[in-house]
């Protein structure tokens, strides 16, 4: 039951974007389309789970004074794996995401979960926490990406919605990302109060 909660909390109750307000930089930058959002979300989820598990395994060996650099090295290792795999098998996506793939290293969700959770909990809990947080991040990012792709480009997953649709360009631009995120936060708050 408690284990299940460690997974479940990341989806909505402690959603990394909507509640913890972490990882906003990739959220605003790469949520221009559903494809980008999903690619970013899944990459971050993989790194999050792997680093969470590894850090919870080695937490007793790391002196607390150098823990942050050690976490960064561990996270960077997994990010390098993601980067190379993506470049080999999904070159188009890799080109689209650009600098934001290596920047997963300093994604504050991952470092935040490492510091706040994985460094003091067991392996199974850390795995579930990483999975929940990752899925929560991916889902939120995908919703923003979907809304922005439909409104800003008139497409879903790259396919046009309708031929005579006039795209609202602002949603393809950074202000559109802030706006959609803000409206999503409103929805979340309204939902919480009900």
Partner 1 sequence: MSKQLVITSSPHIRDKETISRIMWWVVISLIPAGISAVWVFGLPALYLIVACVVSAVLTELACQKVMGRPVRIGDGSAVITGLLLAYNVSAGLPLWMAVLGSVFAIAIGKQVFGGLGRNIFNPALVGRAFLMASFPAYMTRFYVWKDGALVSQATPLTVVKMGGVPAVTYKTLFLGNYAGCIGETSVLALLIGALILLWRGYISLHTPLSYIGTVALMTWIFGGKAGWFSGDWLFHILSGGLMLGAWFMATDMVTSPITKKGQVAFGIGCGLITSILRLWGGLPEGVSYSILIMNAFVPYLDNLFRPRRLGERRRWI
> Interface with partner 1 by CB under 8 A: which residues?
166, 168-171, 173, 175, 179, 182
Closest CB 164 distance from partner 1, rounded Å: 12
Q: Is 98 helix (H, G, I), strand (E, B) or coil?
A: helix
Closest CB 54 distance from partner 1, rounded Å: 43
Which residue, 5 or 189, has its beta carbon nearer to partner 1? 189
**How many other β-carbons are positioned within 10 Å of the β-carbon of residue 183?**
12
| H or E element at residue 120 | none
Which residue, 78 or 171, has its beta carbon nearer to partner 1? 171
**How many other β-carbons are positioned within 10 Å of the β-carbon of residue 143?**
19
**Which tokens sit at 156?**
């879903």
Closest CB 181 distance from partner 1, rounded Å: 13
Which residue, 106 or 178, has its beta carbon nearer to partner 1? 178
CA angle 22, 24, 25 (to 5 degrees): 130
Closest CB 167 distance from partner 1, rounded Å: 8
Strand partners, 160: 155
Closest CB 28 distance from partner 1, rounded Å: 16
C-alpha distance from residue 33 to each of 64, 105, 172 (Å): 40, 22, 9
Which residue, 3 or 21, has its beta carbon nearer to partner 1? 21
Q: Helices (DSSP H) in the chain: which residue ranges?
A: 2-8, 24-29, 34-58, 67-89, 91-97, 108-113, 123-153, 174-193
Which residue, 67 or 188, has its beta carbon nearer to partner 1? 188
């Amino acid at each position: 039951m408690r284990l299940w909660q460690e997974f479940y909390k990341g989806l909505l109750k402690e959603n990394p974007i909507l509640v913890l307000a972490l990882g906003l930089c990739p959220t605003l930058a790469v949520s221009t389309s559903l494809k980008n959002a999903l690619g970013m979300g899944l990459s971050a989820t993989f790194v999050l789970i792997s680093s969470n598990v590894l850090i919870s395994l080695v937490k007793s060996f790391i002196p607390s004074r150098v823990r942050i650099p050690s976490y960064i090295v561990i996270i960077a290792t997994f990010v390098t794996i993601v980067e190379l795999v993506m470049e080999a098998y999904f070159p188009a996506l890799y080109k689209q995401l650009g600098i934001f793939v290596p920047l997963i290293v300093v994604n504050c969700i991952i470092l935040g979960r490492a510091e706040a959770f994985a460094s003091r909990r067991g392996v199974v809990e850390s795995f579930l926490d990483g999975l929940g947080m990752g899925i929560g991040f991916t889902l939120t990012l995908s919703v923003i990406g979907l809304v922005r792709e439909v409104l800003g480009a008139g497409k879903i997953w790259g396919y046009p919605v309708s031929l005579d649709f006039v795209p609202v360009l602002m949603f393809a631009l950074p202000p559109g990302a802030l706006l959609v995120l803000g409206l999503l936060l409103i929805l979340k708050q309204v939902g919480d109060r009900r």
